[in-house]
Amino acid sequence: MRRTVSLLVIALALGGCGTAETGGQPVPRANPAEPQRAELDWRESYPPHGPHLVFGVERLEVTTEGWSAVVSIENGTRIRFELGKTPLQLAFGLMLLEDGSLEALEEGSRSGELPPLREAVEIVPPPPAVLAPEQTWRATISAPGSLADDAYVRVSFGTLTATGELPEEFPPNLIWITDKAYRL
């Protein structure tokens, strides 16, 4: 249940979080991560029991030009989720954190101090307008620009807007940020 509360806070906080300064001091410039490719094969379920969504991250690639990730969402529920209906609400991309622990992510969510989302600028194929029950969508998300060396990378999926009558464990709008993190 704690994760559900965090997800709701994350959904509300993503729009305006992150600053260029911390405590009045400029943030030191990060060194760019070296090119690399990681076969992650992450599969995370929400909720953890019963009919659920499965968020997958197959691979992450960092190049000198930018980054890409192969991701998927499997709808194992009886709920329809709108994904691509309002492109401005999409929150697919990467979050770079200094700490790879799930506790640090949850605390950042609670305090409204999550780093800004490194939004995917290309999603191929684009998300369907609606992800129906028993449907799986798989895509490559990517963006130009370097990623900070030694940062912990988490993948963000969303916004998934549930339609129809919802079970108690599902919020009407869901942004999933992976529990797992990969260190660059």
Higher pLDDT, 73 or 17: 73
Q: Would you report the helix, strand and coil content of the chain in percent, each value rounded to 5? A: 15, 45, 45
| Model confidence at 83: pLDDT above 70 | yes
Asked if pLDDT for residue 7 goes beyond 60, the answer is no
pLDDT digits (tens, 9 = 90+) for 135-175: 999 999 999 999 999 999 999 999 999 988 887 777 888 89
Where residue 21 falls (left for φ over 0; alpha for ψ -120 to 50; beta otherwise) is: beta
pLDDT of residue 27: 53
pTM of the shown model: 0.82
Residue 97 has pLDDT above 90, yes or no: yes
Q: Residue 49 has which token pair?
A: 């029991």
Give CA–CA dist 59/65, Å, rounded.
Answer: 17
- Percent above pLDDT 70 for the chain: 82
pLDDT (0 to 100) of residue 15: 39
Which ranges in 60-133 belong to alpha helices (H)?
Answer: 102-111
- The pLDDT score that the predictor gives to residue 86 is 63
Please provide the CATH number assigned to the domain covering 2-17+34-183. 2.60.40
CB count within 10 Å of CB 158 equals 25
